[in-house]
Amino acid sequence: MELVSSLCNNGVIPASYVHPPEARPGNLIVPLGKSIPAIDLAGDRDQIQIIQAILKASEEYGFFQVINHGVSETLMDDTMDVIQEFHAMSAMDKEMECSKDPDGSCKLYTSSLGYLAENFHYWRDAVAHPCHPLEECLKFWPQKPIRYREVIGAYSIELRKLSSRILEMICEGLGLETGYFSSALSENPKILVNHYPPCPDPSLTLGLSKHQDPSIITLVLQGHIQGLQVLKDDQWIGVQPLPHAFVVNIGYLLQIISNGKLKGAEHRVVTNTEDARTTISYFVYPSSECLIIPAKILANQQNPPLYKGCKFSDFLTVYLSKAADKEAVEEYLKF
Ligand code: OGA
Ligand code: NI
């Protein structure tokens, strides 16, 4: 499977990337979601108001952005630089740098994990690897660009802190006991570096198909190029790139745990002809044996459980085998 970044696209998009009409993006230019709330984590509002804003955004959109979140801007810029440098390397170098683990924990792939089974491909290259505990994971990460391990290592630590802080606020907002998310539920975070090269015809393909994340929450650093769109009331809205913000979205697992109080939203990525877009997602994932069930205090006689419990690894198998199809995944989860 050839990486998108090495396809020689003399202004023509290869047939295997052309999506059938009903799956094409339609309007590439959608209203920017000014309505997707940007929440200031260090403003003069008190903690309770911040928690309320997070809960409200999570209920209404499944998405919000955070600013003044405490992660150093220099580190965010360095991270962007390093991941762009990575994707600018030759396909051979990328392949080599991502094959240091005989067990394959660090993966370089293109389109989606279902490349061989899918009917058409997506305009994206990706690298995915675990990032906690750092000492155990880092030794299988790329060593080129030379600062990859140092910078992405520091980034992973900061994102673990930030995601824990956000989850602690969500925990408080939902009335769950302190630390509800802090053990097995967030033990297995993953880094995903997405790269969407410029595309000769963005109207025919997508960078990432419509999906909802299989995580607890996901934090995305999207840089300054537009492309991420969120489905809200059957309309696509763009997630406006804000300088040094993180985009946070609610995954299926938090939807289950909150018994549907917080809802994830489907989102997708469109491409553009001009600029490569490189993003980095931090997925908060549980350990594979972890049982995902609605929290007891949120599922009771007044609010019957909407979802049956499932082991995280079983959920992920279904999610991948159904290619993230929302109806199929929700059918599986239904009580
Ligand atoms: C993801 C995702 C958005 C982006 O990695 O699940 O939705 O803008 N990424 O790359
Ligand atoms: Ni996503």
Query: What is the residue with the minimal CA distance to atom 3 of ligand 1?
Result: 228
Please state the domain extents for the chain: 32-294+309-317
Which CATH superfamily is 32-294+309-317 part of? B-lactam Antibiotic, Isopenicillin N Synthase; Chain (2.60.120.330)
Give pLDDT, residue 322.
87
CB 229 near ligand 1, within 6 Å:
no
User: Which backbone phi and psi does 210 adopt, to 5 degrees?
Assistant: -60, 125
pLDDT tens per residue, range 202-221:
999 999 999 999 999 999 99
Angle value at C-alpha 134, between 3 and 42, nearest 5 degrees? 95
Cα–Cα dist 213/192, whole Å: 12
Query: What is the residue with the minimal CA distance to atom 8 of ligand 1?
Result: 228
Please state which of the ranges 71-85, 156-170, 314-328 shows the lowest mean pLDDT: 314-328
Say which ligand is closest to the CA of 122.
1
CB 112 near ligand 1, within 6 Å:
no
DSSP-assigned states of every residue in 83-101: HHHHHHS-HHHHHHHT---
pLDDT tens per residue, range 130-140:
999 999 999 99
pLDDT-based confidence at 34, cuts 50/70/90? low
Q: How many CB atoms lie within 10 A of CB 259?
A: 22
Cα–Cα dist 78/61, whole Å: 30
Beta strand 228-232 with 208-211 is: unpaired
Query: Where is pLDDT greater, at 33 or 157?
Result: 157
Preceding amide of 145 cis, omega within 30: yes
- 127 and 107 Cβ atoms separated by less than 8 Å: yes
CB 134 near ligand 1, within 6 Å:
no
**What is the rounded average pLDDT for all residues in the chain?**
95
Which atom of ligand 1 is closest in space to residue 213's alpha carbon?
6
CB 276 near ligand 1, within 6 Å:
no
Ligand 1 centroid to 278 CA: how many Å? 10
Please state which of the ranges 6-10, 82-86, 121-125, 248-252 shows the lowest mean pLDDT: 6-10
Rounded to two decimals, what is the model's pTM? Answer: 0.97
Query: Where is pLDDT greater, at 146 or 26?
Result: 146
CB 5 near ligand 1, within 6 Å:
no
